[in-house]
């Protein structure tokens, strides 16, 4: 029989969302297809803004003309988009990068999942708990996480994020090679402030570790004083890679466009002592295995930075923000304890009376026909929490909260 990558054999199936879907189907089958309101969706619900749609049409027309048609694009993405990103997302916040430190891609999920290929097979990774599952699963696929038992991988350093530590992970006792941080965080909806980020950058510099910084939700940060990029912290360009996406910023979950910043100062050693730049390695990896995000989509992403694109996307984001604010306010009125939701579309709700998160999920589904995401599915420290999102319409969210109030 052909042999496989053994690491896949020890991966659990993607249990969380398939289990949620199974329970929702069972509920509907037993309740004459009763309408269920989902506060579990992690996808945007608002359409692309007009500035983006216009750019898509224009670029599509260019593809129809032999004079303006584009085939394979530049490996790291078109200069027009990298320049716009550099100007709007970094220089305006005092961060200077080289344009070629920006790599355009089709998604932060693929980039953050693929980047681990560059690390040693036995590199030790540190993860916040609860966590966006892609970080752990992509490392597990490379056989880097050890054995899985009791909900934990034996070679992973877990960094619990709980109400007790204000959802700011403490520095680890065991030194990892790679640290995954996500701010604003999925699932807790909380942000790491400047001091917390500085602590991690200093730690990584002192301990020869890399930080994989996922800023997919940075556009939800409402307070201009909060850092949006890890590169706002001095010295981060020697230790950190940053992942960003147009998915939640501008509704590109279906269109697909993201970018990753790999500073040229990042260096790592091979076993024979050869020092390599991570920038060069990532370029080599991408140019071998990836052919880029389409011209049409990159033009659409560029339009997000136009004055009308900025105003229109800000409007959509404000809509999600006010839904999140409504959720926080109403959950508070119900006497529930909720975190996040201010600089993030995610609200991290503590279950009442220490109820296990799947039990609370079942209660909401069966008594209120409302769906949330059980926190235990994001890691052991997610137990006794559920994640709710602000991506549903304000009307549906409000109706779901009415149902919740009547059950509680």
Binding site for ligand PLP (CB under 6 A): 42, 107-109, 132, 182, 186, 214, 216, 245, 247, 253, 258
How far apart CA 319 and CA 17 sit, in angstroms, is 26
Q: How far is the CB of 252 from ligand PLP (least distance, A)?
A: 7
330-336 contacts, C-beta under 8 A, 24 or more apart: 330/398, 330/401, 330/405, 331/401, 331/404, 334/404, 334/405, 334/408, 335/408, 336/408
Q: How far is the CB of 403 from ligand PLP (least distance, A)?
A: 26
Of the two residues 282 and 369, which places its CB atom closer to ligand PLP in the complex? Answer: 282
Q: How far is the CB of 5 from ligand PLP (least distance, A)?
A: 23
How far apart CA 2 and CA 338 sit, in angstroms, is 50
Of the two residues 42 and 160, which places its CB atom closer to ligand PLP in the complex? Answer: 42
Of the two residues 255 and 368, which places its CB atom closer to ligand PLP in the complex? Answer: 255
Of the two residues 226 and 247, which places its CB atom closer to ligand PLP in the complex? Answer: 247
How far apart CA 130 and CA 151 sit, in angstroms, is 12
How far apart CA 234 and CA 311 sit, in angstroms, is 31
Q: How far is the CB of 186 from ligand PLP (least distance, A)?
A: 4
- Give how far Cα 384 sits from Cα of 13, 188, 330, 336, 358, Å: 23, 12, 19, 12, 9
* Two structure tokens written together for 109: 């999920």
Q: How far is the CB of 244 from ligand PLP (least distance, A)?
A: 8
How far apart CA 32 and CA 16 sit, in angstroms, is 25
Q: How far is the CB of 179 from ligand PLP (least distance, A)?
A: 15
Residue nearest to ligand PLP (CB): 107
- Give how far Cα 342 sits from Cα of 71, 186, 222, 330, Å: 42, 13, 7, 14
Sign of torsion over alpha carbons 331, 336, 340, 345 = negative
Of the two residues 257 and 368, which places its CB atom closer to ligand PLP in the complex? Answer: 257
Of the two residues 191 and 404, which places its CB atom closer to ligand PLP in the complex? Answer: 191
């Amino acid at each position: 029989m052909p042999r496989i990558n053994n690491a896949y054999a020890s991966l659990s199936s993607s249990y969380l969302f398939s289990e949620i879907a199974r329970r929702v189907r069972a509920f509907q089958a037993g309740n004459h297809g009763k309408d269920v309101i989902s506060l579990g969706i992690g996808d945007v619900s608002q359409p692309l803004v007009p500035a983006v749609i216009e750019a898509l049409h224009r670029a599509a027309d260019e593809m129809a003309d032999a004079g303006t048609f584009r085939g394979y694009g530049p490996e790291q993405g078109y200069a027009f988009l990298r320049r716009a990103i550099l100007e709007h997302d970094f220089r305006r916040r005092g961060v200077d990068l080289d344009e070629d430190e920006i790599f355009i891609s089709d998604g932060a999920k693929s980039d953050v999942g693929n980047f681990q290929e560059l690390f040693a097979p036995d590199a030790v990774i540190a993860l916040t708990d609860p966590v966006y599952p892609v970080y752990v699963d992509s490392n597990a696929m490379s056989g880097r996480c050890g054995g899985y038992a009791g909900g934990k991988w034996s070679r992973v350093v877990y960094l619990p994020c709980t109400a007790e530590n204000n959802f700011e992970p403490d520095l680890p006792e065991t030194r990892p090679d790679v640290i995954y941080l996500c701010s604003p965080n999925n699932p807790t909806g909380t942000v790491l402030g400047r001091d917390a980020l500085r602590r991690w950058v200093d730690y990584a510099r002192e301990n020869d570790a890399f930080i994989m910084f996922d800023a997919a939700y940075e556009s939800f940060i409402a307070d201009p004083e909060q850092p949006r990029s890890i590169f706002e912290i001095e010295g981060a360009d020697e230790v950190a890679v940053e992942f960003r996406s147009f998915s939640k910023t501008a509704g590109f979950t279906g269109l697909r466009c993201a970018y990753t910043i790999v500073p040229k100062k990042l260096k790592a050693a091979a076993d024979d002592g050869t020092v390599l730049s991570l920038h060069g390695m990532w370029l080599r990896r991408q140019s071998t295995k990836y052919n880029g995000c389409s011209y049409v989509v990159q033009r659409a992403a560029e339009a997000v930075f136009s004055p009308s694109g900025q105003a229109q996307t800000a409007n959509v984001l404000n809509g999600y923000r006010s839904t999140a604010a409504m959720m926080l306010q109403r959950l508070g009125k119900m006497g529930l304890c909720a975190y996040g939701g201010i600089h993030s579309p995610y609200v991290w709700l503590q279950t009442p009376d220490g109820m296990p998160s799947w039990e609370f999920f079942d209660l909401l589904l069966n008594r209120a026909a409302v769906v949330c995401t059980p926190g235990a599915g994001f890691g052991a420290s997610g137990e006794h929490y559920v994640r709710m999102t602000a991506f549903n319409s304000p009307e549906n969210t409000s109706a779901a909260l009415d149902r919740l109030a009547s059950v509680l």
